[in-house]
A and B are shown apart, each in its own frame.
Chain A
Amino acid sequence: MLSRSEIVREFKRSKSGIAGVAILLGLILMTVYSAVAIPLESFRQWNNPNFWIDHPKAAAPAWTNLGSKVPEHKIMDSRDAEISESIQDGTRTLVHSYSIDFNYDDYPDDFMLPYSAKYGSTQPVLDVSVIRPDGKEFEIYFSSLPVSRSDQGEFSSRVFSTDKQIAESLKRYLGEFQYRQDPAKPEVMVFSDTQEPGVLKGKYTFRETFFLFNPGDSVIDSGVILGGKVYGLMGTDEFRRDLAIGILWAAPVALFIGLTVSIASVLIGLIYGVVAGYRGRRTDEGLMRINDVFYSLPTLPLLVILSVTIGRSIFLITGFLVIFGWVGMAKISRSLALQIKNLQYVEAAKLMGQSDINIIFKHIIPQLLPLTFASIAISVPSAILGEAALSFLGLGDPSIPTWGQILHEANSASATTRGLWWWIVPPGLMIAITGLAFALIGNALDAIVNPRSRRV
């Protein structure tokens, strides 16, 4: 048996073990960073599409924007606008003008015009025109705002570039183009050169004019969101969510699941196996039969059934994984307990009249502790992979982001065949790296403390 300092010394000599610890430290740093720097709200609202509406849709990571430049995401609100106001015949006219320098080689992904206003029974009218760098002006939207539902409350909504009105209005300008244009794609048509297919670079002005008919009405905010084709460190997904946030937040979740499941199942397996091995005879026979039954149960199908019928919260899933996780450790610790119980000091303790429980917990289990730590580390990857597989099948906890769940959504949106690699590569890589860290630590520990693998 090795002393603790000997184990630490040998572990420090193992390069792979150190590498594992380094990766683990990185993951813990990620956890700390996400807890400190990212608002908890983004974690809670992960599956709420309204929370993410200001983000671009399926945008690549910003650092891929090299060579030919694709548009970056632009969010502007009334603070960025040039505002002017005039009154004529009791109608107030509010103009919010947004200037955008558009010098990219590609069209934006889409655009949105959010607004919020306060009005009574007579709805204000919104008129939107775009003044292009070539001097042409396209009036793309002219409509009264929806009937306000609340009496004096604020009304917020947004005009999407996919709005039918916009396509309808743009039909009037088809003649301006020397080639075919599609008014159903305003983000292309508005930003196109009229002479030849291509982007028209320069300064665009979105002019949003509000006509207010009641003295009490007011415009609280307006804005222009130009949907970029690149965004952030890791891009966004189909539901406009910032993948960097999801991937960062999923790190503590994965560590929690991996560690809780492996610690719980290894400890259960340890005690179970030691009791079976120490008591021997019928207890051993009975316990090992039960162990055999658990060993033969189909894990993933039963996990699936459990989460479909009982529930999908993260704590339940952790419990389900423990049910199937303890089997291997029980076998190992039983065979070791069989050896230890015949050692002289255990026999001596027995002769001195110590109780079985005392012997198991004071004399046998402490001998197995180093191996227990190795086993905990070794069984983390399978717990993480198990949860990921369950989430990937769409049966994970729906209220929090996990890497498996992000991949499930990527697969459902057929991200692979649409080339959205930034949605596929990072989550899977994180699963693999996290598993790898624990596998490296576990193998290094196992090589030190497990007499069987020492030989080879």
Chain B
Amino acid sequence: MGGFYRFLLRRSVNMVIVLFATLILTIALLGPTMDRILRDSIKYYIIEEVNSKNLKFPNEVERQKYINERVEFQTKALGLDEPWYSPKRFFNTVVKVMLLDLGKSNFLTSDSGSSNVRDIILEKLPKTVLLFTTSTLVITVIGLYLGSFVASKAGSIWDRFNSAFAVFSGSFPTWWVAMLMIFAFAFTYHIFPARATPLTPPSDPQYAADLVYHMLLPLITIVLVGFGSWAYIVRYFVVGILGEDYIAAKRASGIPEKRIIYSHALKNAAPPIITVVALSLAGSFGGAITVEAVFDWPGMGKLYYDAIGVLDIPVIIGLTYISTVIFVITVFVTDIVYAYFDPRVKVA
């Protein structure tokens, strides 16, 4: 077991390094912009305040002096007098975000009106998880059956058709197919709504049904683009296993071909397939940005899209960090599970 613990340790260290690297990179890139926005907003609010309070000044110079003093005071109070890369502020931000204290957003709010970044993300997270987990599940099931079916007929017309479809669908941008689907099924045939944000409020008992109805078109789109390459991956693994000696032995002992494929071959191909499923699910946030933006699906991807539009830096940092956390933890867990069952991995 010593090898396994060393492996575990190495992976954990790796995970922390990745999280640190992402965070430092994000903050270093966004720091200057964030500072500028914060300073501008302080100035804006103070000028607003001076105007609304109707303060009287003997002349313009006095007024400007007062405003400058107030701005300086506020900037100091918020610690903005030091640049973002000063050790104190930088370390402060890193530790805070690492502990999931994501601060307050600049512009965006959650549906309940909170401007706490964690609240906003927590509100959107389930929607993204719902859409992408469901579609990954559907894709996996279709991929497993189709993949092992064409693997059993390797070289046939079905197999070639499937490979061609996989290459085709892999070249299509999912968000473009999404636009086509909206054009076909929302504009030409009014079957699905064009915007996937349900209009019923979440408190309504009808909400769940409405959400599912709005989810169908994005779901169909993701499945349509994704299942081809899935079937291809499954086929690759299953064909590899069908060439092994023990399968030949099973064939020789007269076990029906169907059982060999669906129960023996598929079972042995399962670990790598599960890894790929887990990784693609964990990495789906990148795809979520474009797909959710097209469908207006109220998830994390749409939130990210909106946050870029208004340059809401705390939300951008928070989302980038959370999506990395999810990805890294999934990679970690799959690695460990895989290593536990397949001793070869630990050595490599």
Contacts and interface: CB of A to CB of B under 8 A. Distances in A.
Contacts of A433: 171
B277 to A, nearest CB: 17
A388 B26 CA distance: 22
A299 interface: yes
Contacts of A421: 183
A308 B320 CA distance: 14
B289 A416 contact: no
Interface stretch (B55-63, B73-81, B133-141, B321-329): B321-329
Contacts of A300: 285-287, 289-290
Contact of A456 (B187, B239, B286): B239
Contacts of A297: 18, 21-22, 25, 324
Interface in B31-85: 32-33
Contact of B236 (A298, A305, A415, A456): A456
A147 interface: no
A301 B286 contact: yes
A304 B308 contact: yes
B271 interface: no
B331 interface: yes
Interface in A379-412: 381, 385, 388-389, 392-395, 407, 410-411
Given A310-B29, A389-B290, A302 B167 contact: no
A308 B187 contact: no
Interface stretch (B90-98, B172-180, B208-216, B248-256): B172-180
B186 interface: yes
Question: Interface on chain B toward A: helix, strand, loop, or mixed SS?
Answer: helix
A309 B187 contact: no
A190 interface: no
Interface stretch (A119-127, A288-296, A339-347, A367-375): A288-296
A432 B18 contact: no
Contacts of B308: 304, 308, 393, 395
A266 interface: no
A420 B277 CA distance: 36
A261 to B, nearest CB: 16
Interface in B156-180: 164, 167-168, 170-173, 175-177, 179-180
B129 interface: no
Interface in A266-301: 289, 292-293, 296-301
B22 A298 contact: yes
Contacts of B283: 298
Interface in A415-456: 415-419, 421, 424-425, 427-428, 431-433, 435-436, 439-440, 443, 455-456
Given A395-B308, A456-B239, A417 B176 contact: no
Contacts of A301: 285-286, 289, 304, 316, 319-320, 323
A385 B328 CA distance: 24
A205 interface: no
A306 B22 CA distance: 12
A58 B168 CA distance: 30
B172 A428 contact: yes
Interface residues of A, number: 48
Contacts of B219: none
B286 A388 contact: no
Contacts of B186: 416-417
Contacts of B293: 393, 411
Contact of A431 (B176, B180, B188): B176
Interface string B291-332: 001100000000011001101000010011001100110010
Chain B interface bracket (under 10, 10 to 19, 20 to 34, 35 or more): 35 or more
Nearest to B328: A296
A436 B168 contact: yes
Nearest to A420: B183
Q: Which of A302, A308, A407, A416 has the most CB of B within 10 A?
A: A416
A440 B308 CA distance: 35
A445 to B, nearest CB: 13
B194 interface: yes
A156 interface: no
A439 B167 contact: yes
Nearest to B186: A417
Contact of B18 (A296, A388, A419): A296
A416 B221 CA distance: 15
B26 A293 contact: no
B14 interface: yes
26 contacts: A16-B164, A293-B21, A296-B328, A297-B21, A298-B285, A298-B323, A298-B327, A300-B287, A301-B285, A301-B286, A304-B304, A309-B33, A385-B173, A411-B179, A416-B179, A417-B186, A418-B187, A421-B183, A428-B172, A428-B173, A428-B177, A431-B171, A436-B167, A436-B171, A443-B167, A455-B243
Interface of A: 16, 289, 292-293, 296-302, 304-306, 308-310, 381, 385, 388-389, 392-395, 407, 410-411, 415-419, 421, 424-425, 427-428, 431-433, 435-436, 439-440, 443, 455-456
